[in-house]
Amino acid sequence: SGGLGAMGFGFPAALGAKFARPDKQVLALVGDGGFQMTMQDLITAVEHRLSLPIFILNNGALGMVRQWQSFFYRGRFSSSILRNPDFAKLGDAYGARGIRVERPEEVEGALRTALATEGVPCVVDILCDPEENCLPMIPSGQSVAEMILDD
């Protein structure tokens, strides 16, 4: 989120938006670490039969933390690598629809299926490269002039 405070907020915010505007298309786009903070709210979406697609970008890490550790701590990783469940199976266990995306060419079909799913949330677990960085990035305490643009 680049310090915007979205971690742990994206899914609950989408849930609230869907309750507020049930007639509108709402979706959640979250990271795996952020989803783990509030995934128990999935039962609320299931119990209320909300048509809510939840797309989880699953890189197996707290991505921004891992990136900072890679850039500024010479790859000394501490508490940033996650051991995630299979989020699609977790969705199924809650009574939602679960889809697992393992290759880029599967994304479009999963997107269409999730958006067309009615009466239950749809958890789409999108496996991502854990080494992919989120750029541009401004180092802590630096100005925009110090922005990191590439690896």
Q: What's residue 12's pLDDT?
A: 96
- Give the residue with greater pLDDT, 151 vs 102: 102
Confidence of residue 38 (pLDDT cuts 50, 70, 90): very high
Q: Which residues contact 124 (CB under 8 A, 6 or more apart)?
A: 53, 54, 55, 56, 88, 99, 101, 110, 111, 114
pLDDT for 27: 96
Mean pLDDT for the chain overall: 87
Q: Which residue has the tokens 């989020």?
A: 87
Q: Could you tell me what percent of the chain has a pLDDT over 90?
A: 57
Structure confidence by residue, pLDDT tens digits, 43-101: 999 999 999 999 999 988 666 766 666 767 777 776 667 788 999 999 999 999 999 99
Number of helical (H) and strand (E) elements in the chain, helices listed first: 6, 4
The pTM (predicted TM-score) of the whole model is 0.84
Topology of the domain comprising 25-146: Rossmann fold (3.40.50)
Q: Which residue has the higher pLDDT, 78 or 126?
A: 126
Higher pLDDT, 12 or 8: 12
